[in-house]
Amino acid sequence: MSITKITATVEATNIGDVFTTQMKVGDHITVADEPLTIGGKDAGPSPAEYLCMALASCTAITLRMYLKRKDWKVEQIKVNVSLVKAADAASGVNTFYCRLDLGNDLTEEQRTKLIQIADACPLHRLLGTPSEVVTEMAHTIADV
């Protein structure tokens, strides 16, 4: 396997709690779980919620960078992201719905530009292109 540039790495460890999984990202530790309704302990966001969190935070950060560069005064950026999985969508496509709330002090032209900027955030672009997941075992029986 040839890897040219790793953008992000997360280590997930599940030690026997049905779904509760500890995740380590650099020096940060967090937990993912599933809701009670499907057998989890609801000890943390679900993996799908983390995916929405990643898109929402990337969008907010991208917007803030642009606003600072343009010196447009927006006190608060709210990004709400919802996911409808392909199996539940009439289109048959996984769909992320992103709603931006930047207050009322922007012109229509600024709002239109900020939607374009939001759509250009790195994770938006990543999720909008085909991806591949390569899974392998860390050790083979011969390694033990």
- Please check whether residue 17 is in contact with residue 24, taking contact to mean a CB–CB distance below 8 angstroms: no
Q: How many CB atoms lie within 10 A of CB 79?
A: 21
Q: Which residues of the chain have pLDDT under 50?
A: none
The Cα 58–Cα 40 span in angstroms is 27
The Cα 112–Cα 106 span in angstroms is 10
Say what the pLDDT of residue 1 is: 55
Say what the pLDDT of residue 61 is: 98
- Ordered by where they begin, the domains of the chain are 1-44 (no CATH), 46-129 (3.30.300.20)
Global pTM value: 0.89
pLDDT per residue as tens digits for the range 100-127: 999 988 999 999 999 999 999 999 999 9
Exposure string over 114-140, b if 16+ CB within 10 A, otherwise e:
beebbeebebbeebeeeeeeeeeeeee
Say what the pLDDT of residue 16 is: 87
